[in-house]
Structure 1
């Protein structure tokens, strides 16, 4: 039976989708406010990039020990993660200087990591199969929500209202609704697998894990630095740069909305990743070389290409370690943490040493490495 035949979206499915939407909103919002934090506090780019790195540290912590916490908390695991995500956003919006913002980013990262770990695993448990379609749909919801944050923050800046209200209130309100209605739950999978079974990650999982680091690194280089690039390199004003940086996440939202039909039509995960990566590289070329108006279109095309990388690779990674689904999900959260902690920080540090125009080549370099890896895999295993 095909995955589409058994996919029945329930209230639990939609609750998981909306929880991922909170995460998508706040991740893009964190990138959208980086130029404002830099301007408020006179920070160099490398220091501003430490806030995403603090978020990534939360992902790393959960990636290492989150599977044990999830097993102990059971059905309370996802509500706890969602509460931490909302709490971190509140701490950032409340201010508190550099340290307070760093603590808020860390708490937000802990909550976000919990969602990254639990939501895909929960969708696989609910719907069976490798979960590519529901995971793609969850990421489509997250991407759609992520389009809103730069638009709302840009509008607030243009109106002279500041960024804090638009940053924190929408995800806090949605998180409160999900918690109060008890929609933030994941199914508890019976512990029918011995603790020692499949405790060592299969080679196929390790390979997909490496792909995941590359894909997430590209995504968050663009999420965290697109607004600054449009402002500093393309010459747009603060509000316009923040608002138009939504072109990237808009492209991602469109791409992920179409993920179901594309996954089914592609004839293989690696074929789809190769095609998506090529689109991302083409979009980046337009972004880098074109004037501001066309550069925004390039940003949109880059988002279209990058959109499918995370959900497709994540689904294949989880399917490669079926004996340990919770541990596999935690290790995938670790991959996200490593990528978010290193790639945007490397880009910001390189921008301080050279220029942002040169430093953004970190993103296409990661795409090209991913393209080579998947091309080699297809050459070695044509039926993959």
Structure 2
């Protein structure tokens, strides 16, 4: 029997969740570059290129709409392994399919199944670690940071090899198969009794919604930077290839930031303080990236942005679940719904602004998003009455 506890113990369910999240994020960060390579093969338009990301995001939003309802009737183990299997099917469709229709279907399945796997992982870690979920989610996202760094590099290396870029998508499938063989008989946490009774009914508290929107908006800061950052670097004199490679500085910053965040959250009660610091670091890094015309300084700014962005998602999600008052599955699902919609809209909005007013002007959206994050964090804490009692300080 799993119980909430203030002690932090990495058991088999925790390690399984960490490894599975690394698999999902490897696919996620390989997907964008892979669609670019697919476009070269099939010769479709830039508009269609963007539709692949929209279809993924809509699949993710569908997970957010359905997860809480499904989780009331299906065990964590069935959800987890079923979503993992469906993600493998999505990878197979995307890599073995030839043509736009089947690969678009694969993108939608990836978004639906992959986000279901992500949401199940977050639920398992929340069930298992309770008030210390902030530390568990931060540690889990270290693997995500590593995937962000290595997935594009592996994709690029295999693209010029005899295996081809499609082999990249088989790697997480092989790891998930190994995890299944190792952990298939290990029990996963059941839904804790204290929120299984309330998850089916009632509304989420206002603070929970504010933190859920914070989770989505903080992710939008990263989405916009990843999608359009290389275009800004072109304006500093870098070539297209160098600009694309320089984006790895941002991913490296994310990895380092999450390693630091995992260390900081070893002590309870530091979530809110770390979020404020992370938003400040993100703002400083972005201003350096945005306002300089020097390529070296711009890349340094990207790196600093990554360090700041690193812990925004896991810590904002921890606040969301903590404010759910026994409706963690519902809060988890709604945060993914909002995030999926924001993921579909935010890069499109920045692109539209860039077409009308220029990319440099359009990137003024980023400081607006960072300021909105600060406002949402402050408002959520004010409503929750926790300005002086961060996550981990209360029962």
8 A contact 1:155–1:243 mirrored in 2? no
8 A contact 2:155–2:165 mirrored in 1? yes
| Superposition TM-score, scaled by structure 1 size | 0.87
Residue 364 of structure 1, aligned match among 351, 363, 367: 367
* Corresponding residue for residue 312 of structure 1: 315
**Mapping of 1:1-384 within 5 angstroms?**
6-41=7-42, 45-74=46-75, 75-157=77-159, 163-166=165-168, 168-182=169-183, 186-189=188-191, 191=193, 193-194=196-197, 199-227=202-230, 229-230=232-233, 235-238=238-241, 240-263=242-265, 268-288=270-290, 289-375=292-378, 382-384=387-389
The DSSP-based 3-state class of the residue aligned with 2:255 is: helix
The DSSP-based 3-state class of the residue aligned with 2:73 is: helix
Using a 3 Å threshold, how does the CA distance of structure 1 residues 299 and 41 change in structure 2: closer, same or farther?
Answer: farther
Q: CA deviation at 1:40?
A: 4.5
Structure 2: state its 5+ residue gaps. Answer: 390-395
8 A contact 1:52–1:341 mirrored in 2? yes
8 A contact 1:58–1:106 mirrored in 2? yes
The DSSP-based 3-state class of the residue aligned with 2:273 is: helix
Give the stretch that moved more between structures: 7-16 or 193-202.
Answer: 193-202
Q: CA deviation at 1:376?
A: 5.8
| Superposition TM-score, scaled by structure 2 size | 0.85
1:3-49 deviation line (CA, Å, top 9, x unaligned): 99611111221110011101211221123335434545555544422
- Rounded Cα–Cα distance in structure 1 between residues aligned with 2:367 and 2:311: 16
Root mean square deviation, CA, Å: 3.0
- Count of matched residue pairs: 380
Using a 3 Å threshold, how does the CA distance of structure 1 residues 32 and 125 change in structure 2: closer, same or farther?
Answer: same
8 A contact 2:289–2:299 mirrored in 1? yes
Using a 3 Å threshold, how does the CA distance of structure 1 residues 234 and 140 change in structure 2: closer, same or farther?
Answer: farther
- Rounded Cα–Cα distance in structure 1 between residues aligned with 2:36 and 2:352: 15
Give the stretch that moved more between structures: 345-354 or 365-374.
Answer: 345-354
- Rounded Cα–Cα distance in structure 2 between residues aligned with 1:339 and 1:189: 28
- Rounded Cα–Cα distance in structure 2 between residues aligned with 1:25 and 1:356: 29
Q: CA deviation at 1:207?
A: 1.1
The DSSP-based 3-state class of the residue aligned with 1:72 is: coil
Q: CA deviation at 1:135?
A: 0.7
8 A contact 2:67–2:116 mirrored in 1? yes
Q: CA deviation at 1:310?
A: 0.6
Give the stretch that moved more between structures: 94-103 or 262-271.
Answer: 262-271
Structure 1: state its 5+ residue gaps. Answer: none
